[in-house]
Amino acid sequence: MNIIIVTACLAGVAHSKMCAAALTKEAERRGHTVWNEIQSDSSRTGKVTPEQIEQADVVLFAYAVAIMEKERFRGKKVLKVPIEKALRNVKGTMDKLEALAAE
Q: Which of 3, 6, 9, 34 is catalytic?
A: 9
Q: Which among 92, 77, 87 is positioned nearest to 1, based on CA atoms?
A: 77
The yes-or-no answer on residue 9 being catalytic is yes
73/7 Cα distance (integer angstroms): 14
Just list the catalytic residues. 9
